[in-house]
Amino acid sequence: MNQQSQWRSRLDRIPGAAYIFLIVFAAASILVPRFFSVGNISTMLLQACTLTLLSVAMSLTLMMGSIDLSMGGVVSMCGVIMACIMRAGASAWLALPVGLIIGAVFGMFNGVMVTRLKIPAFIATFGSMGIAQSIANTISQERTVSWEVSPKTSLIDFLGNHALSVEMGTDASQTLTISNLLIITAVVVAVVWVLFRRTTLGSNIYALGANEETARLSGVSVTQWRIIVFVISGVLAALGGIVVMVRSNSVQPTIGSNLEFQACVAAVLGGNVMEGGKGSVPGAVLGALTLYTIRSAMSLMGIDTSWVQVVIGGVLVIGMLLNNYAASREKAGSLAALNRARADRAVGKGGVAK
Amino acid sequence: MEREKLLEFRHVSKSFPGVKALEDINVDLYPGEVHILVGENGAGKSTLMKVLSGAYTATSGELIFEGKRIEKNSPHISEALGISMIYQELNLVPELSIASNIFLGHELKKGCFVDTRAQEKRAAELLNEIGIRVDPRTLVKNLGVGTQQMVEIAKALSKKAKVIVFDEPTSSLTDSEIQELFGIIRLLRERGVGMFYISHRLEELFKIGDRVTVLRDGRQILTDTIDHMTMESVIENIAGRKIENLFPHVRKEAGEPLLEIKSLSGDKFQDVSMTVRAGEIVGVSGLVGAGRTETARAAFGIDPYTSGEVYVCGKKLAKHNPERANKLGMCLLPEDRKLEGLALSLSIRENTVISSLRALNPTGIINDAKERREVQKSIDELEIATSTMDKLAKFLSGGTQQKVVIAKWLMSQSKVFIFDEPTRGIDVGAKSSIYQLMDDLVGRGAAILMISSDLTEIMGMSDRIYVMSGGTVVGELDQRQATQSDILQLAFSNV
């Protein structure tokens, strides 16, 4: 029985998002002719990089019972600022760190609004989304910003290169390509995950989301941790900005719009709930990959991209339903466990309590 | 006593704008002592403990810990000194393991990483010390309330607590869990831990208390060793008046059966039959999870059931239709008043009329004057303590909230009342008036089915008692012949 329960607990630990992803992925592979090819899948993974970073950030903020709606705006803002710095002739080695720092500062701004000024995260980050987007629009004068390719910007080219390219056939769809961006994204996500699992970051985030009072009474510095998570979110959004910038070799000021919505959908698919205290980093990654699987499958089927939003909205609803279902099963399960424990105890006492 | 005092409150007062919450309190605590704090809700027990934890700062007076004055208290400082609080509402993080919860905020580390293995090992030792055998890697969401409380105690121990404050620790535990908790408290006493213990269950103070302090309206009424006190004297001091008889219920002539549950089966209960007659209070006893609440919810029509029938006043109830049950004169007063019984952000008036809107206002237009008149009548009749009927329900005490729920159902002409844990978390003064009210209800020909985990209450208020265990009715007892241990034996017979 012990072994069985161990298996069960191991199964429990796999996020529900894994099943959704597998189902969607399998369905796409079977139903859409050109979907399951190394070429398409490597393109899809590359496209999913920005959203993966944002979904992980969104998942962290949701887990602690907040939300960060500003990330789309931060993607645009950081992208525009970095592009402008390079357009002015400065080196990419200057521009990228500046972008990341601005992301961090903006995250801190969000964190301070939520903790010190006690503005609800939904409102605070909604406001800062507007601020970030307006900064992007103003600086760029609402035009696409591009820069001159020169040795100074060779870092951008390097990031955009393929680290690995294997031709498995004559057709382009049979070429496996691993971009540097994909590797960087994977490394960043892995670092966040390790921080989450192996340092106090994870426990503190769960504690904040489950019950802020509990966290405070346990000696967790509530303000400090909230700000830290918003800073992480800001930095990940800035990284997302770098990814879109490298991929398109220019920055449109509205490049980040709507990304926060998709990140939210991905996080919910990954097991997050709006009340906080639940969710996981791998779940968020799988959520983002699920969305891109759908997107890629739809575009291969020749369905107009404007329909993608409709489908994503539907996916959000399905994700919510699945979360509710999981929660109700959990409740039933814990009651069963309670009864089992009671039965054990009663038997241990010879059946009668005095 | 010659022993050194562990902790002392000296002339502690605390004022909030417009209220004196504590006035000149002098309470001390010795190592290895269980010091019980009793008093009605709002008497100042929790405020006093918040001064100790550093959540509040005393307006005047001082706090002495191990001979030294605590100059500036805060939750961090008191915790570092070894003062731990265990609150009624458990403060654990459901998604984390037992070990992570125990070490939350003071994790064991190896470099900058959490040393999970060391935490699990230490957690297992701590749990072992208090005699709990459970894998420290288990997620807290999979634990019962009782075990969660033990985890809280282990957490306090991990911080090397010298003083532990228990705030109503038994309010959601079953009897066997309470015994387990008392065992642990005795163990802590032997190790020299000083404990404050807040409880509304007075029989507990004679079981584990060493000394008692009674607070009323922020003042210290008395502090004395338990040997010098009796249940009556404690109650009298808490209420500030003599409560002749906590349970006023007099057996009445039982009339027609008003509620008949016939062979009801569902998910969590099988073949349950119960009858309640007019003028009767019937108690339902059993362990938490015995299927009592589930049966009541199904009978009322909130949850579906697979087979069986329910009759109210001789008429058959439709499945899964609480509105119909309501119309026939049946009502359910849930255990969690705040979640299910009341709309907290609405006023007393709005809560009271919510089930009788159609009857009060047949035209569909709100008859303001009539509503106010009827509500005032209920307030007077039930002695609901409030300055105005427009006060919001969330500002009322537990006892008053319960009365508002009763007022709501009385107004809708209910005849069959199902009370689920009617007095949980309610102080003794308000308890006695709820009991009085229940007795009045059956005096007027109503029928009451009372689910309760409090055996004293079951014995004090019921005419007949059904005992449920493992989802079935395992016994029906006449109160005059039943003893508490009969009930307990039955309650454990089918787990």
**Topology (CATH) of A2-345:** ABC transporter involved in vitamin B12 uptake, BtuC (1.10.3470)
Last residue of a domain, one of B173, B208, B239: B239
Give how far B233 is from chain A: nearest CA, Å. Answer: 27
The single-letter code of the amino acid at B67 is G
Chain position carrying tokens 């698919």: A269
Domain hosting residue B207, numbered range: 7-239
Q: Which residues, 6 or more positions from B345, have their beta carbon under 8 angstroms from its beta carbon?
A: B392, B393, B394
Whether residues B275 and B408 fall in one domain: yes
CA neighbor of A253 nearest in space, from A100, A125, A72: A72
Set of chain A residues whose Cβ sits within 8 Å of the Cβ of B179: 353
- CB-nearest partner of B92 from A199, A214, A354: A214
Cα dihedral A217, A218, A221, A227 sign: negative
Nearest CA in chain B to A279: B95
Give how far B191 is from chain A: nearest CA, Å. Answer: 23
Instruction: Look up the CATH number of the domain holding residue B183.
Output: 3.40.50.300
Please give the tally of structural domains in chain B: 2
Set of chain B residues whose Cβ sits within 8 Å of the Cβ of A215: 93, 104-105
CA neighbor of A290 nearest in space, from A263, A326, A272: A263
Whether residues B229 and B286 fall in one domain: no
ipTM of the complex: 0.73
Nearest CA in chain B to A221: B105
Q: What would the two tokens of residue B94 be? A: 């459901």
What does the pLDDT profile of chain A (354 residues) look like in tens digits? Answer: 455 556 665 666 667 778 888 988 999 999 888 888 888 898 899 999 999 999 999 999 999 999 999 999 999 999 999 999 999 989 999 999 999 999 999 999 999 999 999 999 999 999 999 999 999 999 999 999 998 888 888 888 888 888 888 877 777 777 888 889 999 999 999 999 999 988 888 888 988 888 887 787 777 888 999 999 999 999 999 999 999 999 988 999 999 988 999 999 999 888 888 888 888 899 999 999 999 999 899 888 888 878 888 888 888 788 778 777 777 766 665 555 555 544 444 443 333 332
Give the count of Cβ contacts less than 8 A between chain A and B: 97
Look at residue B204 and tell me if it is in a domain. yes
Q: What would the two tokens of residue B96 be? A: 């984390």
**Exposure string (b/e) for B370-387, b if CB count within 10 Å is 16 or more?**
ebeebbeebbeebebeee
Whether residues B276 and B225 fall in one domain: no
Residue B402 near residue B422 (C-beta atoms within 8 A):
yes
Domain boundaries, chain A: 2-345
The torsion angle over the Cα atoms of residues B53, B55, B59 and B63, rounded to 10 degrees, is 10
Q: What would the two tokens of residue B414 be? A: 């209910």
- CB-nearest partner of B492 from A211, A278, A353: A353
Contact A342 B100 (CB under 8 A): no
Whether residues B274 and B159 fall in one domain: no
Residue B448 near residue B419 (C-beta atoms within 8 A):
yes
Set of chain A residues whose Cβ sits within 8 Å of the Cβ of B175: 353
The torsion angle over the Cα atoms of residues B223, B229, B234 and B235, rounded to 10 degrees, is -170
Set of chain B residues whose Cβ sits within 8 Å of the Cβ of A334: 141-144
Last residue of a domain, one of B184, B205, B239: B239
DSSP assignment of A222-250: HHHHHHHHHHHHHHHHHHHHHHHHHHHTS
Contact A207 B489 (CB under 8 A): no
CA neighbor of B174 nearest in space, from A347, A341, A328, A348: A341
Q: How far apart are CA B148 and CA B142, in angstroms?
A: 9
